[in-house]
Amino acid sequence: MKKLLVATGGGDCPGLNAVIRGIVKRASRQKEWEVWGSYEALNGLMEEPIRLIRLDGKTVSGIHVKGGTILGTTNKGNPMSYPEKQADGSVKLVNRIPWLVDRLKGKGFDAVINIGGDGSQAISQAMFEAGMPVVGVPKTIDNDLNSTDFTFGFQTAVQTASESFDRLVTTASSHHRVMIMEVMGRDAGWIALYTAISGGAEVCLIPEIPYDLQAVAERLQGRYIDGRGFANIVIAEGAKAKDGTVTASKGEEGRHAVRLGGVCYTLSQQLKDAGIKADIRETVLGHTQRGGTPIAYDRVIASVFGVKAMELVLDGNFGQLVVLKNNDYTSVSIKEAISAYNYVDPNGTLVKAAKGLGIYFGD
């Protein structure tokens, strides 16, 4: 019997459990592989005592409809820069990849399926280069991973954001207010863009298109405050004014240097300072976009990704990331996938279509 380790890393995302179930179900058809899960990304394997769980048909039964991940996850403890306490009490970031690969082999593991975003896939690639057979599965609600049309979880996040947006439209209309809704999207504005088109936003502000504040204020004043009497804006957490910086607080050690959030309050103040007299209200959707049940579309992508990832393991095709490309499920090398980032193209079809619908990007 060969041993496979599965891990879910980075921020959670609707569909993680469906991937785990897909892997285990496909593996059980062959009876050649025993599947194990590591708690909280690869930390479960790295810690003493070790924290692993045997994954079988019973463990994964029915979990595809559940949000979160039965394995837990973390975005701390990256083995490529692992915080290690030194004899003098100081903390040094060390590369523990060679140690991790030795540990995996020492515990009898023949392969790893690592489910995660760009950070986790950089770890997958490092493990692969250090001699560990690894397959990656792309995950993130932000849809910012290159080489795949969609990551699972993105459409669920859009659905959540879109439903919230619709609710804000009716209350904005009743009270003649300007509503600003902040969605996730650290470097890429996919959730904001899809929500703006789906909900019919007046203004959509994304990281890829720094906004001209005066122009946004004029747009609101001219077309809506003096006209329809209310307006709805969607803004991605990583958006910023042309001459401004992102709205953030201090991040955590070993992770992002800054934690994003609160840009809707920044924009609200900027609009007031620019002379907009409307009653402006702000809503931060935050982690509601990451939690909860995956919609059917994401369950399908995630389940197929799980099966495909296991098939790559069965075929001995390692160093690969499963992807959805041109409506087909296939794979690309992890190295290629992490070499670029999936930004919204400011001159692309979707932004042009949104502009055609009258959505203003502040450019």
Can the peptide bond before residue 138 be classed as cis, meaning omega within 30 degrees of 0? no
Q: Which is nearer to ligand F6P, 140 or 221 (CB)?
A: 140
The answer to whether the beta carbons of residues 204 and 192 sit under 8 Å apart is yes
From the CA atom positions of the chain, what is the Rg in Å?
22
Contact flag: residue 260 with ligand F6P (CB under 6 A): yes
Contact flag: residue 153 with ligand F6P (CB under 6 A): no
What is the DSSP annotation of 315-349? HT--SEEEEEETTEEEEEEHHHHTTSB----TTSH
User: Residue from 100, 184, 201, 233 that binds ligand F6P (CB under 6 A)?
Assistant: 184
CA angle 194, 212, 243 (to 5 degrees): 115
The answer to whether the beta carbons of residues 78 and 46 sit under 8 Å apart is no
User: Residue from 175, 259, 281, 335 that binds ligand F6P (CB under 6 A)?
Assistant: 259
Per DSSP, the three-state class of 154 is helix
Stretch that binds ligand F6P, among 84-92, 172-180, 184-192, 343-351 (CB under 6 A): 184-192
Residue 24 CB-half CA count within 13 A: 23
Stretch that binds ligand F6P, among 137-145, 198-206, 264-272, 319-327 (CB under 6 A): 137-145
> Under 8 Å CB-to-CB from 287, ≥6 apart: which residues?
none
Contact flag: residue 11 with ligand F6P (CB under 6 A): yes
Q: Which is nearer to ligand F6P, 177 or 290 (CB)?
A: 290
Contact flag: residue 186 with ligand F6P (CB under 6 A): yes
Tell the smallest beta-carbon distance from residue 204 to ligand F6P (Å). 16
The first and second tokens of residue 61, run together, are 């039964």
- 149 catalytic residue (yes or no): no
User: Residue from 75, 164, 195, 303 that binds ligand F6P (CB under 6 A)?
Assistant: 75
Contact flag: residue 140 with ligand F6P (CB under 6 A): yes
| Phi, psi of 330, deg, nearest 5 | -145, -160
Tell the smallest beta-carbon distance from residue 105 to ligand F6P (Å). 31
Tell the smallest beta-carbon distance from residue 284 to ligand F6P (Å). 12
The answer to whether the beta carbons of residues 358 and 204 sit under 8 Å apart is no
The answer to whether the beta carbons of residues 20 and 4 sit under 8 Å apart is no
Contact flag: residue 45 with ligand F6P (CB under 6 A): no
**Residue whose entry in the numeric block shows the structure tokens 């890829």:** 208
Tell the smallest beta-carbon distance from residue 64 to ligand F6P (Å). 21
Beta strands at 91-94 and 82-85: parallel, antiparallel or unpaired: antiparallel
Contact flag: residue 164 with ligand F6P (CB under 6 A): no
Tell the smallest beta-carbon distance from residue 289 to ligand F6P (Å). 7
Contact flag: residue 139 with ligand F6P (CB under 6 A): no
User: Residue from 41, 42, 128, 142 that binds ligand F6P (CB under 6 A)?
Assistant: 142
**How many residues interact with ligand F6P (rule CB under 6 A)?**
13
Q: Which is nearer to ligand F6P, 183 or 354 (CB)?
A: 183
From the list 42, 57, 344, 52, the residue with the least C-alpha distance to 186 is 344
What is the DSSP annotation of 107-149? TT--EEEEEESHHHHHHHHHHHHTT--EEEEEB-TT--BTT-S
How far apart are alpha carbons 179 and 165 in whole angstroms? 9
Tell the smallest beta-carbon distance from residue 12 to ligand F6P (Å). 8
Stretch that binds ligand F6P, among 43-51, 128-136, 148-156, 180-188 (CB under 6 A): 180-188
Given 12, 142, 187, 298, the catalytic residue: 142
Contact flag: residue 141 with ligand F6P (CB under 6 A): yes
Stretch that binds ligand F6P, among 99-107, 134-142, 301-309, 325-333 (CB under 6 A): 134-142
Residues marked as catalytic: 142
Where do contacts with ligand F6P occur on this chain (CB under 6 A)?
11, 75, 117, 140-142, 184-186, 237, 259-260, 290
